Amino acid sequence: MTRFARNYLCLLSTLSLLFLSAACSTMQPGKAAIASADPLATAAGYEVLEEGGNAFDAAVAVAAALGVVEPAASGLGGGGFFLLYRADEGDYRFVDAREVAPAAASRDMYLDDNGQPVRGASMDGPLAAGIPGEAAGMAHLAGNYGRLPLERLLEPAIRLAENGYRIESRALLGLRFRKQTLLQSPAFAAVFYPEGVLPKEDTLIVQPDLAATLRRFAEGGFDGFYKGDTARLLVDGVRAAGGIWSLEDLASYRVVEREPSVTTFSNLRIVTAPPPSSGGVALTQMLNLLSTYPLAELDGAQQKHYMVEAMRRAYRDRAIYLGDPDFVEMPLPMLLSRDYMAGQRVSVRGDRATPSSVLDGIDTDGGEGTQTTHFSIIDADGNRVAATLTVNTWYGAGFMSPGTGIVLNNEMDDFSIKPGVPNEFELIGDDANAIVPGKRPLSSMSPSFLESDRGIAIVGTPGGSRIITMVLQAALKWYEGGSAWDMVSMRRFHHQYLPDEIRHEPGAISEAEIVTLESMGHTVKPARRPFGNMNVVTWDFDSGKVEAATDPRGRAEGRVY
């Protein structure tokens, strides 16, 4: 098909967003691109693409390598979401590899006898860890969508674990920040504090136990991780240190394929994460509320005012209604309907902030973190992956079961440990997100595809509660005609209902806009650290150009092949 014909098809598709994916599925970019948080992980993905692998193979290789070289953010001890697009079928898959609460977990497990949260209990040590899902997600991708064997896909990660990688300054920040907790896990300390002290930048970190774990996984697939030696070592280590995992918890872990969330904003279509992520619901709500404002014609302060009011209302609903869809009934038809947000819009004044306290709800600067990771991939055939993976906060629970090399997550903190009590990201929740054995904690991770007549953008970022508002701002930037680089480098701001304040990066809101927003009743505060680490791949239908851009806040460079 000529480029003219392809463009014509995609132009036609703007008349029918439903037609878009069908029309564009016949197109191929002819080039591949990967944007991840670490050049070594990007190279791992490239290696398997070179060998004939597709985007799904590359995703497994990148995820595995990130677990070795960016263990503060993700790894075999964590979980995540993989959003897939299969070009030959023109279909979308959402692979939910989120952690689940162990069978011995209970609703009040982090509360003391007086019903008050025990400090650090849902954050530090193995009691904070959910049953990991990332390995099952990788095995699922390789087994169902990839072309190469899992063993081949894990080779780069095994090499990196055996030969070592040089630790960089941001990883050291995490080691310094959580030193007290991390040093309590001798297996963790032996790897990351080689002489018993904080290593210097560029120290070689070698992980023989992790290499052996990866080898067992490579040979046995799902069973090579969730059963046998690895499972035994994990459970023995967790239980010896006060945790509650069992072998059955691991053996019964399953990924779930879910229908992705799809929302539209004018001629922009966003395919993104459904519950147990709050991303798709909140993005839909925010865009529905914003859809009737002429955003492009408004001045900066007015535009931000409406965006903040949309964020406030979406995060209020997140706190009240959202949780694991396999456990809770959520009023999704209501939340996702345009009419519902039209009703919400009635309470938005053009000249005044709505105090969060006057909105019905439950009674937090969120995590600025890079302590999650996102990568975006397109292959030459047009297959796509947007994956956001996490161990939750820096180095998760700060615990490693001896002999495994695996850093365990502290994803249990993403549950609402008590209604109204904020978690690490100052997010609050209610019954919908209460702890139940086997349940997935509510997430903000929002791997997304942005699709319009101009092309495709594959988008996502770490950043805890701020992930969703970062993806919103990226989507609006793309909608306005911005590039991959514009999306990753833009200055960002955030509001999440409670605390009732706008947090912003330097330059995201001008001094004059701050004066105007404050005069409307908004509280505006600078963020302590930069927001996120967004990694984006774009494909422009008109020029055929494929671009990869990585966040200047991170350390990687995107690569196009």
State the residues that interact with ligand GLY by CB under 6 A. 372, 390, 392, 411, 414, 443-445, 464
User: In 411-521, which ranges are E strands?
Assistant: 448-452, 455-459, 493-494, 502-504
> Would you say 53 or 464 has its CB closer to ligand GLY?
464
What's the CA angle centered on 365, arms 359 and 368, to 5 degrees?
Answer: 130
Tell me, what DSSP letter sits at residue 260?
Answer: P
Q: Which of 203, 213, 372, 516 is catalytic?
A: 372
H-run or E-run covering 278: none
- Nearest Cα residue to 132 out of 408, 324, 445: 408
> Would you say 54 or 284 has its CB closer to ligand GLY?
284
> Would you say 79 or 558 has its CB closer to ligand GLY?
79
Residue pair 31/560 in contact (Cβ under 8 Å)? The answer is yes
Under DSSP, is residue 489 helix (H, G, I), strand (E, B) or coil? helix
Number of neighbours of residue 223 by Cβ within 10 angstroms: 15
> Would you say 79 or 224 has its CB closer to ligand GLY?
79
Residue whose Cβ sits closest to ligand GLY: 443
Q: What distance in Å separates the CA atoms of residue 310 and residue 197, rounded to the nearest whole number?
A: 46
> Would you say 344 or 392 has its CB closer to ligand GLY?
392
> Would you say 455 or 464 has its CB closer to ligand GLY?
464
Q: What are the start-end ranges of the H helices in 124-183? A: 134-144, 150-163, 169-177, 179-182
Number of neighbours of residue 256 by Cβ within 10 angstroms: 17
108: which residues sit within 8 A by CB, 6+ positions away?
115, 418
Q: What distance in Å separates the CA atoms of residue 57 and residue 79, rounded to the nearest whole number?
A: 18
Q: How far is CA 236 from CA 211, 368, 402, in A?
A: 19, 34, 9
> Considering the complex, what minimum distance in angstroms separates the CB of residue 278 from ligand GLY?
8
> Would you say 54 or 443 has its CB closer to ligand GLY?
443
> Considering the complex, what minimum distance in angstroms separates the CB of residue 443 from ligand GLY?
3
> Would you say 37 or 142 has its CB closer to ligand GLY?
37
**Cα-atom radius of gyration of the chain, to the nearest Å?**
22
> Considering the complex, what minimum distance in angstroms separates the CB of residue 120 from ligand GLY?
17
Q: What distance in Å separates the CA atoms of residue 439 and residue 416, rounded to the nearest whole number?
A: 12
> Would you say 42 or 392 has its CB closer to ligand GLY?
392
Give the largest Cα separation in the chain, rounded. 71
Under DSSP, is residue 262 helix (H, G, I), strand (E, B) or coil? strand
> Considering the complex, what minimum distance in angstroms separates the CB of residue 474 from ligand GLY?
17
Q: Three-state SS string across 186-213, please?
A: HHHHHHHCCCCCCCCCCCEECCHHHHHH
Confirm whether 364 is a catalytic residue: no
- Phi, psi of 398, rounded to the nearest 5 degrees: 70, 30
Tally the C-alpha atoms within 13 A of residue 127's C-alpha that lie toward its C-beta.
Answer: 15
Residue pair 423/258 in contact (Cβ under 8 Å)? The answer is no
Q: Which is it for strands 261-265 and 165-166: parallel, antiparallel or unpaired?
A: unpaired
> Considering the complex, what minimum distance in angstroms separates the CB of residue 356 from ligand GLY?
20
Residue pair 455/3 in contact (Cβ under 8 Å)? The answer is no
Q: What distance in Å separates the CA atoms of residue 241 and residue 483, rounded to the nearest whole number?
A: 48
> Considering the complex, what minimum distance in angstroms separates the CB of residue 357 from ligand GLY?
25
Looking at this protein, which amino acid is placed at residue 359?
L
> Considering the complex, what minimum distance in angstroms separates the CB of residue 1 from ligand GLY?
40
> Considering the complex, what minimum distance in angstroms separates the CB of residue 90 from ligand GLY?
29
> Would you say 321 or 479 has its CB closer to ligand GLY?
321
> Considering the complex, what minimum distance in angstroms separates the CB of residue 434 from ligand GLY?
16
Residue pair 60/138 in contact (Cβ under 8 Å)? The answer is yes
> Considering the complex, what minimum distance in angstroms separates the CB of residue 308 from ligand GLY?
21
Q: How far is CA 322 from CA 274, 317, 534, in A?
A: 10, 7, 25
Residues annotated as catalytic (active site), given as ranges: 372
